[in-house]
Amino acid sequence: MASPLAKGSDGRPRCRWGASTPDYEWYHDEEWGRPVTDDRGLYERMVLEGFPSGLSWRTILRKRDNFRAAFANFDVATVASFGDRDVERLLADAGIVRHRGKIEAAIQNARAAAELHANGESLAELVVARADGPPARSAHARRPPVLDPGVHRAGQGAEAAGLPFRRPHDRLRDHAGVRRGERPSGRLLGQGGGRCRARLF
């Protein structure tokens, strides 16, 4: 039976997926499975984990600095103020994944998070309030997380609270009225079935 661990480029043992490429080593050691309890950090992960669909997580990690620059370091208030010109600017940015629906969903989610702030609440509080206990982190995961359970809860909690958090594959029209795509593909924010067992709390 093959060992669930493997040595990385520095000789340190890691989960096999974490040692599979240098791009994953830092993520495995410093971020995967560690708590994320601030709104900026949670919003960043909501955005990044909404973009892979059809792409590898490694591709997103490689573009992460570009995403941070494009989305104002994921400052909720700043992204919430983005308008049509910003959407077009982002669509022209070759450093990120250029997908109109995902970009618009990221902006809509910033506006929903800003609504929480306006009501004296936070995205982090919403996630904690809706958490049903921390998922166990598996030391034998075959692949890095694609959908983070904390982000999954953020989407579930927001919808349960009546906030307009949007999935990347929704057909976005405006902040209040949205017609959902009839046949979305991939794992979507707010739906179950994510394989990731990284813990946020």
Instruction: Indicate which residues carry an active-site annotation.
Output: 27, 49, 57
CATH code of the domain in which 73 resides = 1.10.340.30
Both tokens assigned to 94: 């070759």
Residue 31 resides in a domain? no
Residue 179 resides in a domain? no
Residue 191 resides in a domain? no
Specify which residues 14 forms β-bridges with. Answer: 6
Name, in order, each residue with C-beta under 8 angstroms of 109's C-beta and a sequence gap of 6 or more. Answer: 43, 46, 47, 165, 166
Residue 183 resides in a domain? no
Domain total for the chain?
Answer: 1
Identify the pLDDT of residue 186.
28
Residue 142 resides in a domain? no
Residue 2 resides in a domain? no
Contact 40, 110 (CB under 8 A): no
CA dist., res. 24 & res. 70, Å (int): 23
Residue 20 resides in a domain? no
Identify the pLDDT of residue 110.
96
* Structural domain span for residue 96: 36-131+147-172
Name, in order, each residue with C-beta under 8 angstroms of 21's C-beta and a sequence gap of 6 or more. Answer: 58
Residue 5 resides in a domain? no
The pTM (predicted TM-score) of the whole model is: 0.69
Identify the pLDDT of residue 138.
47
Q: What is the pLDDT along the chain (201 residues), one digit of tens a residue?
A: 678 899 998 989 999 999 998 889 999 999 988 888 899 999 999 999 999 877 889 999 999 999 999 999 999 999 999 999 999 999 999 999 999 999 999 999 999 999 999 999 999 888 877 765 555 454 444 454 444 444 545 555 555 555 555 555 443 322 223 233 322 222 223 322 233 333 232
Identify the pLDDT of residue 91.
98
Long-range CB contacts for residues 12-20, cutoff 8 Å, separation at least 24: 15/139, 15/140, 15/141, 16/142, 17/141, 17/142, 17/143, 17/144, 18/144
Name, in order, each residue with C-beta under 8 angstroms of 116's C-beta and a sequence gap of 6 or more. Answer: 122, 123, 125, 126, 163
